Structure 1
Amino acid sequence: AFLFIPYFKDKENFELYVIKVFGRFFITIIYSAVLYGGLAAILATIDKLLGVKISSNSYYYTFLIVAGIFAPTYFLGGLPTIKNSFTKENYPNIFRVLVFYIVMPLISIYTLILYIYFAKIIILKQWPVGLVSHLVLWYAVISASVLFFISPIYKENSFAKKFMKFFPKLILPLIMLMFFSIGIRVNAYGITENRYYVIVLSLWVFGVMIYFSFAKKFKNIFLPITLSAIMIISVLGGPLSSYSISKSSQNKRLEKMLLSNNMLQDKKIVKASSISEKDKNEISSIISYFNSNHSLKDVKYLPKDFKMDDMEKTFGFQYSPNFSPQNCFYFNIMQTGEPIEISGYNYMFDSRYRYDEKESNLPFSISYDYNSNILKIYQNKDVLYTKDMNEFSKKLIDKYGLRGKGEGINPNEMCFEDENSKVKVKIQIINISGTKDPSTRNIKTNGIDFYILIKVK
């Protein structure tokens, strides 16, 4: 509150006041760290060299004195008073150089990369839900801070003027895509405290960018005021708090799951052991969430004395402790002992020998990237063939569904042939495993062993 209370009246250059406060804060941290380090070194020297026994509590009390007495006193003693006023000449030159010539160019480059990245995922139609919000949110928060701090002086620099004019508008589509990403996650798994904070902070950043995009005169004191209000509501907002919203969302998610499986009658849970594994896992995850973050008493429809050990008694199935939003798959060939037909091919490679691109300088070679799942065939460093092995995972999932380790599949069903104008290939998969995200349907192959037969045309 001390950041904006002195500036409730129409005082100018609020941003310079904030810079002064933050500068004092960081200097306080540095001085306190040096002071504590020196005192701790003195205590250690007395202990080791003079033979005076120094207890470990002495270091703890020294830290408390430095952090609890020196640091607050030094910090508060250097804060600007209400009578102080600031002009643009008070803007720290080091901070000016940092923002104009380092931070703003980096943000601009990052923005370009994000646009390229989003264009890529839109074209490929593969949406990495969990990653998008992290890619955009903290970058947007930092960008909002930069706009806040340069607003008093942006007219001094031509690049800063363009940045201030165009950047808030350029970031709006990225934030909208972030909302779309968050929406997919919330639709699939409901709201939790973490998602609540991501949503409200995203809304605040979106509002800030709208403000910087269209405001004719900046009154930036509203930024910390609105952020403080959001933080208070998030923690103490009653029905609007993160605690209440998350609890309500997960209860609705559980109720929907129970109703879809005919497990709710007269507001009481009916046991059902024959529901799908996916629904069992999701119900288990909801109960686990309440047990870890709230209380089992907050779960609607549960008996008053319910415990985690009562899952089978109440729901008709045991608790699934290893639930993950991603579903796993594993396919392996049946051990029939039959030989592999190799006639008509020139070369054979075994993927269990770790091939990588370093070996592409051989006259004829292959490489397989276990991160991207891309297989390449080389001849004299020229790429003859490229294949995304995730395609085989998709074909097997489409045919057999998600499955774990079990009875093997006929080798012929795990054999795939392909060709282009340069080569003909035959890939015999030995085993293949990975995950499929149910919210995005993206498939990721984590492990694969295979033979590949190659015929050069």
Structure 2
Amino acid sequence: MGIFKNISLQQLWRGAVTTFLAYPLVLLSAFAGTAAAIFNSELSYDQRQEHLYLEKFMLVCALGLILFFTLELLVSKYKLRLHWQASLWLAGLVLLVLYFWLLPLELEQRHWLRFLMLALALHLAASYAMFLNRRDENAFWQFNKALFLRILTSALYSGVLFIGLVIAVLAMEELFSVDIDGAFYGQLWLFMVGVFNTWFFLAGVPTDVQELEHTHLYPKGLKVFTQFVLLPLVTLYLLILYAYFGKIIAQWAWPEGWVSVLVLCFSIAGILSLLLIHPIRFEEGNTWMRTFSRWFYRALFPLIILLALAIWRRVSEYGVTEERYVVMALALWLFITALYFLFSRQKNIKFIPITLSVVALLAAFGPFSAFQVSEWSQVNRLEKLLQESKVLVNGQIQRQHPPVSGEVEEEVSSITDYLARTHGFEALQPWFAIDLEDSLAAATDSLGNRWQKSFATRDKVLDLMGLEYNSGQRDMGRQHFYFSTQHSGSGNAVQDIRGYAYAVQYSYRTFERHEEQREFQLGAVPMIVSLEKEGSVLYFKFEQETLTLDLLPLIKKLQKKQHELVSPADMTLTVEGKQVKVKLALDELNGVEETKEGNYRVQSIEASIYVQLQE
């Protein structure tokens, strides 16, 4: 117990209050974001669709946490007066409100990617915010060492405390028969990560630059970790990559795309190693560290070439996407960083976070961002394919055109699917005589789900081109099917319920880990609805009897319909037993056909079920 002999609850309370007063908006961001995450965890899928703003709010809180932390570091360094501090707070709040306002209600992949870029830029900015226009490199290293160790310590304390509390709650459940909601454990984890971890981390952040500059402590554990764990791993990566580099030269073949991930992992681990050994690399007895730091960037050049070849092959074949843009940007940054540390006299390690944060910002915003460049690349690729196939002539789409090969139709389908999910079709408007926005809006007016909207807009654009969606998966032995009454604009059709006493809404999605069976109470009679695992048969189990409804004949019938436009009548089935009659009105049916085996597997259902119990 010696570790706690000089600690009192009063001291802990004073420390917590002091930390809150030092970083009020940081902790308020953590509180608000955690509360939103906990509230969101209590909602069902349908309820989350009604509270989509919660995702936006959580993103803003996450950015606010690191933004206000960086601003507080600036306040601490320059010892700004209260009115300047309030001005920085106000500026930060305005930026966050603007970001929240600009985000759409339904977040898409590009919004999450831009968020990650912003978060990376802000985290990097926090590492050097107090050290701009200064040459105190030791203070910069000591500060980031402290942050690194504090992050690890916070994670350890949060994890241990979480496990301890979970065991305590489980003990209460077992010993005292206390009924604890299963969602409590997830919410406890959110609290530990969002509030406790943040608060504990902030309590140990150093802010005295002068004191840091005169500190020359180097933890022995950090040296052991770097020398005996990180550096050997980096060396192993290096040997593997150089062996592969030799293989592709000997075979005179293009590198595999996956090698990009390995090169980036090697580069990140190597740069992290260099940063960790920076103060002691030239000390006596550290010959291996000195050799590593001297040769790392030289060894990086062939791997940068390997990385460039791998990503260039993908870009030349399939154009630029946001993910490929990120890899290209990192490859360029690695090349510039290697040049700097090889030929610059200063070799200031602050160059790494400063330049990387600039790259992240440029990739997130502006005319040369990942999103603008990717859209431009894919639209140009689509234009070339359509011109070669005589679908686009003199800048105008010709709905009547010569037959298009399956390979071209597959590529066109892939690009339109990408544009529907990521950018929309505004860039294609000059190709069409009609107002494309109005046409697509009419096709999606009745749709609530963004995935349904992207499918509908993709199919509509292809239809206007005189083409059909071709995923290319049938030749690979797998074909997805998706049918929806809402695609035809009849998703809100009125159902005839004459002859039925009960109506319930049924939803099943395998990818959301819904329960395999759902129970409904029809007066005093329970009804259990379940879907055959890895199949297409629905079961309706009552006390009187069990009815089965095979959806396979319906799926095969609907597959013959073009563009997957179906009416409510097409997706309505009935099944009748001796004492029960059931009517199934499907709104959405989605799944996979394993074409080689001839198997069909339903993955999601949205439907209304009408039941009549015979007396």
Give the TM bin, normalised by the shorter chain. 0.5 to 0.7
User: Structure 2: how far apart are the matches of 1:259 and 1:65?
Assistant: 56
TM-score (norm 1): 0.66
The answer as to 2:233 corresponding to 1:106 is yes
C-alpha distance 266-323 of structure 1, shift in aligned 2 (>3 A): farther
- For 1:72, the equivalent position in structure 2 comes to 198
Of 178, 181, 191, which aligns to 1:52? 178
Deviation at 1:285, TM superposition (A): 0.6
Structure 2 counterpart of 1:4, one-letter code: Y
**Aligned partners of 1:295, 1:98: CA distance in 2, in Å?**
48
The aligned residue for residue 321 of structure 2 is 192
Deviations for 1:89-122, whole angstroms, at most 9, x for unmatched residues?
A: 4112122122223322332343233222112112
Match among 268, 273, 276 for residue 141 of structure 1: 268
Residue 404 of structure 1 aligns with which residue?
none
CA 6–280 in structure 1, closer or farther in 2 if over 3 Å, else same: same
Separation in structure 2 between the aligned mates of residue 53 and residue 312 of structure 1, nearest angstrom? 55
- The aligned amino acid for 2:235 is S
| Structure 1 residue 201 corresponds to structure 2 residue 330 | yes
Residues 235-259 of structure 1 show CA distances to partners (whole Å, capped at 9, x for unaligned) of 2x12122111111111111111112
| 2:67 matched residue in structure 1 | none
Distance 2:462 2:315 in 1: 28
Letter of the 2:366 counterpart: G
Q: Which has the higher contact order (CA 8 A, sep 6+)?
A: 1
Structure 2, unmatched stretches of 5+, are 1-124, 441-456, 478-615
Query: 1:310 and 1:2 mapped to 2: Cα distance?
Result: 47
Which residue does 1:242 correspond to in 2?
Answer: 370
1:185–1:62: structure 2 CA closer, same or farther, 3 Å change rule?
A: closer
Q: Distance in 1 between matches of 2:308 and 2:128?
A: 30
Asked if 1:294 is matched to 2:418, the reply is: no
Instruction: Mark the CA change 1:276 to 1:40 in structure 2 (over 3 Å): closer, same or farther.
Output: same
Moved more, 53-62 or 284-293: 53-62
Paired AA for residue 226 in structure 2: V
Query: SS of the counterpart of 1:3?
Result: helix
Per the alignment, in what secondary structure is the counterpart of residue 10 of structure 1? coil
For 1:51-450, list aligned pairs within 5 A. 51-83=177-209, 84-85=211-212, 89-156=216-283, 157-235=286-364, 237-271=365-399, 272-300=401-429, 301=431, 303-304=436-437, 305-306=439-440, 307-310=457-460, 313-322=463-472
Contact conserved, 2:378 with 2:415, CA < 8 A, in 1? yes
Distance in 1 between the 2:419 and 2:299 partners? 40
Q: Is the 8 A contact 1:168 1:209 kept in 2?
A: yes
Aligned to 1:357: none
> Structure 2: how far apart are the matches of 1:276 and 1:64?
52
8 Å Cα contact 1:36/1:63 also seen in 2: yes
- Residues 176 and 206 (structure 1), Cα distance of their counterparts in 2 relative to 1, 3 Å cut: same
- Give the drift of 1:167: 2.0
- Shift in CA distance, 282/240, structure 1 to aligned 2, threshold 3 Å: same
The one-letter code sitting in structure 2 at the alignment partner of 1:162 is T
CA distance in 2, matches of 1:99, 1:210: 24
In the alignment, the residues of structure 2 paired with residue 212 and residue 225 of structure 1 have an alpha-carbon distance, to the nearest angstrom, of: 14
Query: Is the CA contact 1:169–1:210 (under 8 Å) kept in the aligned structure 2?
Result: no
Gaps of at least 5 residues in structure 1 are 330-457
Query: Equivalent residue of 1:20, what SS?
Result: helix
For the Cα contact (< 8 Å) 1:144–1:205, is it kept in 2? no
Q: Which moved more, 1:283-292 or 1:260-269?
A: 260-269
SS in 2 for 1:4: helix
- Structure 2 CA distance for partners of 1:51 and 1:106, relative to 1, 3 Å: closer
Q: Deviations over 1:110-150 (max 9, x none)?
A: 32332221121122122233123123122112212222222
RMSD across aligned C-alpha pairs, in angstroms?
2.6
In structure 2, the CA distance between the partners of 1:323 and 1:39, relative to structure 1 (3 Å rule), is same
* Count of aligned residue pairs for this structure pair: 327
Residue 130 of structure 2 is matched in structure 1 by: 6
Residue by residue, what CA displacement relative to the aligned partner does 1:167-201 show, whole Å, maximum 9, x if unpaired? 21121121022112211211111110100111111
State the secondary structure of the residue aligned to 2:150. helix
Aligned partners of 2:142 and 2:212 also within 8 Å: no
Q: What amino acid is aligned across from residue 21 of structure 1 in structure 2?
A: L
The aligned counterpart of 2:8 is: none
Cα gap change, 1:214 to 1:270, in 2 (>3 Å): same
Residues in 1 aligned to 2:358 and 2:398: alpha-carbon distance in whole angstroms: 43
Normalising by structure 2, we get a TM-score of 0.50
Aligned residue for 1:90, secondary structure, equals coil
CA contact (8 A) 2:234 2:270 kept: yes
> What's the offset of the Cα at 1:261?
2.0
1:55-82 deviations in Å (ceiling 9; x for gaps): 3454344334323332111101101122
